[in-house]
């Protein structure tokens, strides 16, 4: 793996550069190597600290629930001490809700409810129907969005 991630040469603005460490942005190896790296660090972390009440991770994005703020701060301190390239920040829930990737997680009566989340900058535009793109791709996009809504949303959100 070292060969693929160190001293990689690339061209930018007609000038040659050498990436000293890490994976080039947009590289197909990026997500897989990041997931492996963070997973390895995560294993080391859970040998030292207790797991949070709830813990979910997608590559380098994590969602965790703690008993109190001190537990959260201790966890954050430990995870950030594992490797110099690893720097996690945290976001606290506001009005009992917190976005995580494309999911809005809300706490109601000690239960969690989920729905599709869109950032405030979301325009709602994916692909112009009149664009030079196969109709199958356009139709499949709609199916994918419907499937995502059914997979993400809590059952109560879909009931009338």
Three-class DSSP category at 30? helix
Answer yes or no: are the C-beta atoms of 137 and 143 closer than 8 Å.
no
Backbone angles phi, psi at 105, to 5 degrees: -100, 125
* Local structure of residue 133 (DSSP, 8 states): S
Confidence of residue 33 (pLDDT cuts 50, 70, 90): confident
Q: How far apart are CA 46 and CA 30, in angstroms?
A: 24
47-59 average pLDDT score = 90
Task: Note the pTM of the prediction, 2 decimals.
Answer: 0.72
Cα–Cα distances (Å) from 98 to 38, 76, 80, 90, 122, in that order, read: 22, 18, 22, 11, 17
How big is the CA angle at 87 (ends 73 and 59), to the nearest 5 degrees?
Answer: 105
Computed over every residue of the chain, the mean pLDDT equals 86
**What is the per-residue pLDDT across 67-120, written as a single tens digit (0 to 9) for each?**
999 999 999 999 999 998 889 999 999 999 999 999 999 988 878 899 999 999
Q: pLDDT tens, 122-157?
A: 998 888 888 899 999 999 999 999 999 999 998 764
- The DSSP 8-state label assigned to residue 38 in this structure reads H
């Amino acid at each position: 793996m070292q060969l693929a991630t160190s001293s990689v040469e690339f061209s930018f603005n007609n000038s040659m550069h050498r990436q000293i460490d890490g994976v080039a942005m947009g590289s197909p190896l990026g997500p897989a190597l990041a997931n492996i790296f963070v997973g390895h660090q995560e294993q080391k972390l859970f040998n030292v600290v207790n797991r949070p009440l709830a813990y979910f991770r997608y590559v380098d994005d994590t969602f965790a629930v703690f008993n109190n703020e001190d537990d959260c701060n201790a966890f954050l301190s430990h995870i950030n001490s594992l490797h110099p390239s690893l720097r996690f920040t945290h976001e606290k829930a506001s009005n009992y809700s917190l976005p995580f990737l494309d999911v809005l997680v809300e706490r109601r009566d000690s239960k969690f409810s989920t729905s599709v989340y869109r950032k405030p900058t979301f325009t709602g535009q994916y692909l112009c129907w009149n664009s030079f793109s196969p109709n199958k791709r356009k139709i499949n996009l709609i199916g994918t969005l419907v499937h995502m809504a059914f997979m993400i949303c809590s059952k109560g959100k879909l009931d009338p």
